[in-house]
Amino acid sequence: MAGGKLFYVIGPSGSGKDALMTYAREQVAGRLPILFAHRYITRPMDAGGENHVCLTQSEFLNRRELGLFALDWQSHQNFYGIGIEITSWMSTGANVVVNGSRKYLPTASQRFPEMRIILIDVSPDVLRQRLTDRGRETTEEINARIERNQQIPPVHHPNLLILNNDASLVESGARFIDMLTS
């Protein structure tokens, strides 16, 4: 059986990565060989956002030392990891979707050179509104986040796919699923 592909989803906080991944997971619902990896994060479970496996920092570092992460990085005072189970999943022919990090992309590309990168792009106005609606940050924090996002260099990768997510979840979600199945 041919190996599956790794889809590394990136984009600014508030771009809709979690919403798109949740939508796609619900739509494929086991009918297609697409699996969505949970991230292991040193962030409380009730912090909002994605469904993740919550670990203490010592638990995370122990798992990393034991080699239990296929990918791991640190961002925003938290540790993030993707478990080594994804390599087994891909060996069965399943496509695997992970919520990645733009800053970690060069390292992830070395580990998985054939992976597909899906950059979720959103206009600044839509991003600002989504961050405001989310209600986790002050106006000043939102402005700082948008400023930081605009300073991040453009992503260049031979397997880069770009999905503009200014449209409705149904419309963008359908395009996202098409990317995962083509």
What is the phi-psi region of residue 9: left when phi exceeds 0, alpha when psi lies from -120 to 50, beta otherwise?
beta
Q: Is 12 annotated as a binding residue?
A: yes
Q: Is 16 annotated as a binding residue?
A: yes
Q: Is 5 annotated as a binding residue?
A: no
Q: Is 30 annotated as a binding residue?
A: no
Question: Is residue 38 within 8 Å of residue 98, measured between CB atoms?
Answer: no
Paired strand residues for 80: 41, 73
Paired strand residues for 69: 83
Q: Is 11 annotated as a binding residue?
A: yes
C-alpha distances in Å from residue 15, one per residue of 21, 32, 94, 153: 12, 25, 26, 17
Contacts of 33 (CB under 8 A, 6+ apart): 4, 92, 93, 94, 95
Q: Is 58 annotated as a binding residue?
A: no
Paired strand residues for 74: 79
Q: Is 182 annotated as a binding residue?
A: no
Q: Is 91 annotated as a binding residue?
A: no
Binding region for ATP: 11-18
Binding region: 11-18
